[in-house]
Amino acid sequence: MAISKEINDQKKYIEKIKEINKDKKLKYSILTMGCQLNENDSEKICGMLEEMGYVKTTNNDEVDLAVMNTCCVRENAEDKLFGKLGELKRLKENRGTIVAIGGCMMQEKHITDKIKESYPFVDMIFGTHTLYKFPEDLYKVIEEKNKLIDILDIDGKVFEGLPIKRDSKVKASVTIMNGCNNFCSYCIVPYVRGRERSRMPKDIIDEVTELAKKGYKEITLLGQNVNSYLRVERENNVEFEEYQGINSFATLLEAINKIDGIERIRFVSPHPKDFTDDVIDAIAKCDKVCKLIHLPLQAGSTEILKVMNRKYTKEQYLELVEKMKAKIPNLTLSTDIIVGFPGETDEDFEDTLDVVKKVCFEQVYMFIYSRRIGTPGDKMENQVPDEIKHKHFDRLKELVESQIEKNNQKYIGTIQKVLVEGKSKNNENMLTGRTDSNKVVIFEGSEDLIDKMIDLKIISEHMWYLKGVVNG
Ligand code: 5AD
Ligand code: SF4
């Protein structure tokens, strides 16, 4: 894979820190909030740190470098960060731990102002566009004992070749694009992650081919707007190098589908407006693309969707679902829904329930609307009172749970292909894995099944997971 010049420069700082850290056996901890893109960024931070000689620990008392990779999509992440900072203050006083905070929340000025003012012990703040400079920034903190804030307001470039330490040996995330141009009126992402920019096809294919060679079986393609991959480039005639005929999300799926060794392809998070016919056809045609598709609804009322700037109506969403169901055999859907967006009436909320009833999602990620400073939604005057938000949330949850329970019944007695991930967190004696439709299945089996794709017969359902037995 091509390594960007900027990354080669950073490798020199990695070497310098490695030299300083020699024989010290320094330990780091990392806390990741938010989405899979952030998790993938954290894997890159871990990759850089481990090349510098740091070893990961979860034991707070021995941490020499504490990293936090933050999210700002909803308010609760802020509470979590400031709670954690209180804890880190003690560590700083006791051990002189270096404290570094990065990620989306650091792109918000009111947050960095608050940190500077109330948490002056924080050593390093880095943004989403300066992640690649982490080694250089850390070097300055260590060598010059300076506080350092390195945040770029403008859109970051795409850099190739950062080291990466992946969490799993069979499942890997591959970021294919970054940023968002949609400006949904509730969402902070376009302000903190900047405009859409795609990685070049060859770099992605090289990375996935390399992963396949290492034994990875499942690839999740990531992007804030994953199915608009290369769209901006195509529309604005920005030159890019085609590779194996890849010039769109559909052609990328087709190319990855051909890579030997890869058995499953997933992608998050798409936008309904970018599910063009070529993408739907590619999903239908590519046997490795999982047939659970995430299709964020956000709200069921056309009026609310308009104010949210989602660019589709309730009817268009339902038509898209019908079209996808007709073209893609065994399609299942998951979605994101926000309740309590400004101006949402009881009637609007009934539309959301109506769509949920009609589509019968496999999984629904439900969120209570959270005001984000700087977004149009925050400035709207008709905010919904908390008690109504919670009442609606509870009603939605009840409907979703009853549907999931009913839906789970269809699995009982079936044989499912499951990629085994490891021991179940809640029960040491059981193994856990996921179906094509991303359902968790737990079962009894020997540890050599870990990392393998196996057939399981489903014997019971328990709302959030299924139970299976090894088949044959
Ligand atoms: N409040 C609540 N939920 C939000 N999301 C994005 N912004 C907000 C907000 N301000 C949800 C959307 C999105 C998911 C990742 O988070 O449903 O799809
Ligand atoms: Fe946010 Fe909308 Fe962009 Fe998704 S598509 S990141 S919800 S602005």
What is the chain's mean pLDDT, rounded? 94
Q: Output Rg (C-alpha) for the chain, integer angstroms.
A: 23
Decide: 182 in ligand 2 pocket, CB within 6 A.
yes
pLDDT of residue 369: 97
Other Cβ atoms less than 10 A from the Cβ of 144: the count is: 9
Q: Tell me which residue of 154, 157, 97 sits closest to 133, measured CA to CA.
A: 157
Q: Which two tokens stand for residue 42?
A: 């954290």
DSSP state of 456: E
Cα of 338 from ligand 1 centre, angstroms: 6
**Contact by Cβ (8 Å): 291, 437:** yes
Furthest C-alpha separation in the chain? 65
Tell me if 168-289 shares its fold with 291-409.
yes
**Contact by Cβ (8 Å): 155, 129:** yes
Decide: 370 in ligand 1 pocket, CB within 6 A.
yes
Lowest mean pLDDT among 138-152, 270-284, 434-448: 138-152
Rounded Cα gap, residues 415 and 430, in angstroms: 18
5-150 is a CATH 3.40.50.12160 domain = yes
Closest approach atom of ligand 1 to CA 368: 2
Closest approach atom of ligand 2 to CA 187: 1
- CA-closest residue to ligand 2 atom 1: 187
pLDDT of residue 37: 92
Q: Nearest bound ligand to CA 366?
A: 1
Q: Does the pLDDT at position 249 exceed 90?
A: yes
pLDDT of residue 427: 87
Mutating to test ligand 2, I would choose from 186, 224, 312 the residue with most ligand atoms within 8 A of its C-beta, which is 224
- CA-closest residue to ligand 2 atom 2: 184
Q: Does the pLDDT at position 238 exceed 90?
A: no
Q: Mean pLDDT, to the nearest integer, of 264-285?
A: 97
Q: Nearest bound ligand to CA 338?
A: 1
Q: Does the pLDDT at position 60 exceed 90?
A: no
Rounded Cα gap, residues 394 and 397, in angstroms: 5
Mutating to test ligand 2, I would choose from 182, 196, 309, 365 the residue with most ligand atoms within 8 A of its C-beta, which is 182
The string of pLDDT tens digits covering residues 398-415 is 999 999 999 999 999 999
Q: Does the pLDDT at position 151 exceed 90?
A: no
pLDDT of residue 158: 83
Decide: 217 in ligand 1 pocket, CB within 6 A.
no
* Phi and psi angles of residue 40, each rounded to the nearest 5 degrees, phi first: -65, -40
Decide: 42 in ligand 1 pocket, CB within 6 A.
no
- List the CATH code of the domain at 415-470: 2.40.50.140
Q: Which two tokens stand for residue 161?
A: 């070749």
Cα of 183 from ligand 2 centre, angstroms: 6
Mutating to test ligand 2, I would choose from 271, 298, 308, 310 the residue with most ligand atoms within 8 A of its C-beta, which is 271
Residue 380 β-bridge partners:
none
Other Cβ atoms less than 10 A from the Cβ of 215: the count is: 10
Q: Mean pLDDT, to the nearest integer, of 441-454?
A: 95
Q: Mean pLDDT, to the nearest integer, of 89-113?
A: 93
Decide: 333 in ligand 2 pocket, CB within 6 A.
no
Q: Nearest bound ligand to CA 380?
A: 1
Q: Mean pLDDT, to the nearest integer, of 168-185?
A: 95
Q: Is 58 exposed, middle or buried (0-12, 13-18, 19+ CB in 10 A)?
A: exposed
Percent of the chain residues topping a pLDDT of 90: 86
Rounded Cα gap, residues 140 and 134, in angstroms: 10
Closest approach atom of ligand 1 to CA 35: 15
The string of pLDDT tens digits covering residues 5-34 is 889 999 999 999 999 999 899 999 999 999
Residue 126's pLDDT band, with cuts at 50, 70 and 90, is: very high
pLDDT of residue 428: 87
pLDDT of residue 149: 83
Decide: 187 in ligand 1 pocket, CB within 6 A.
yes
CA dihedral 21, 57, 36, 98 (to 10 degrees): -50
Decide: 68 in ligand 2 pocket, CB within 6 A.
no
Decide: 128 in ligand 1 pocket, CB within 6 A.
no
Cα of 76 from ligand 1 centre, angstroms: 12
**Contact by Cβ (8 Å): 405, 360:** no
DSSP state of 309: T
**Contact by Cβ (8 Å): 30, 41:** no
pTM here is 0.94
Sequence-ordered list of residues with C-beta below 8 angstroms from that of 23, at least 6 positions apart, any chain: none
Q: Mean pLDDT, to the nearest integer, of 253-280?
A: 97
Q: Does the pLDDT at position 4 exceed 90?
A: no
Q: Nearest bound ligand to CA 377?
A: 1
The string of pLDDT tens digits covering residues 316-374 is 999 999 999 999 999 999 999 999 999 999 999 999 999 999 999 999 999 999 999 99
- CA-closest residue to ligand 2 atom 5: 182
Sequence-ordered list of residues with C-beta below 8 angstroms from that of 336, at least 6 positions apart, any chain: 269, 294, 296, 297, 298, 364, 365, 367
CATH topology for the 168-289 domain = Transcription Regulator spoIIAA (3.30.750)
CATH topology for the 291-409 domain = Transcription Regulator spoIIAA (3.30.750)
Decide: 180 in ligand 2 pocket, CB within 6 A.
yes
Q: Does the pLDDT at position 472 exceed 90?
A: no
Q: Does the pLDDT at position 307 exceed 80?
A: yes
pLDDT of residue 426: 86
pLDDT of residue 217: 96
Q: Tell me which residue of 443, 275, 223, 268 sits closest to 363, measured CA to CA.
A: 268
Cα of 184 from ligand 2 centre, angstroms: 6
DSSP state of 73: S
Q: Does the pLDDT at position 3 exceed 90?
A: no
Domain ranges of the chain: 5-150, 168-289, 291-409, 415-470
Q: Mean pLDDT, to the nearest integer, of 266-273?
A: 97
Q: Mean pLDDT, to the nearest integer, of 105-123?
A: 94
| Sole residue written with tokens 């850089």 | 48
Decide: 433 in ligand 1 pocket, CB within 6 A.
no
**Contact by Cβ (8 Å): 75, 186:** no
Strands 218-222 and 264-268: parallel
